[in-house]
């Protein structure tokens, strides 16, 4: 009886390994997906809010697109023309 169950277990080991590997890969992929998503979200959030505060009027500094590319400018434009390079 003991011999039999050991043989059965031995036969099942490859399936366990496959399940384990598939499970681990699934977890890693999910984790990577989650990390990539949060990183992108953080980047978007930092672009939107990382400009800080305008030293001239206290308004928010935001990303703007101008003639020569994107730059950080005051959200109170055109009242305030402060820009950051
Ligand atoms: Zn300003």
pLDDT digits (tens, 9 = 90+) for 6-63: 888 888 999 999 999 999 999 999 999 999 998 887 777 666 556 688 999 999 988 8
pTM for the model stands at 0.41
On whether both 1 and 42 belong to a single domain, the answer is yes
On whether both 2 and 39 belong to a single domain, the answer is yes
Mean pLDDT score, 58-83: 88
- Give me ligand 1 centre to Cα 75, in Å: 7
CA distance 74 to 23: 49
On whether both 29 and 1 belong to a single domain, the answer is yes
Residues 27-38 have pLDDT tens digits of 999 999 999 998
On whether both 30 and 55 belong to a single domain, the answer is no
Number of domains present in the structure of the chain: 2
> Which residue range forms the structural domain that includes residue 64?
51-85
- Give me ligand 1 centre to Cα 44, in Å: 22
């Amino acid at each position: 009886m003991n011999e039999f169950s050991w043989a059965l277990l031995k036969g099942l080991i490859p399936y366990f390994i496959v399940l384990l590997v598939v499970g681990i890969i699934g977890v890693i992929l999910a984790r990577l997906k989650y990390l990539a998503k949060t990183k992108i979200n953080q980047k978007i959030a930092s672009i939107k809010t990382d400009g800080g505060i305008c030293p001239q009027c206290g308004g928010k500094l935001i990303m703007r697109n101008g003639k020569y590319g994107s730059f950080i400018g005051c959200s109170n434009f055109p009242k305030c023309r402060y820009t950051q390079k």
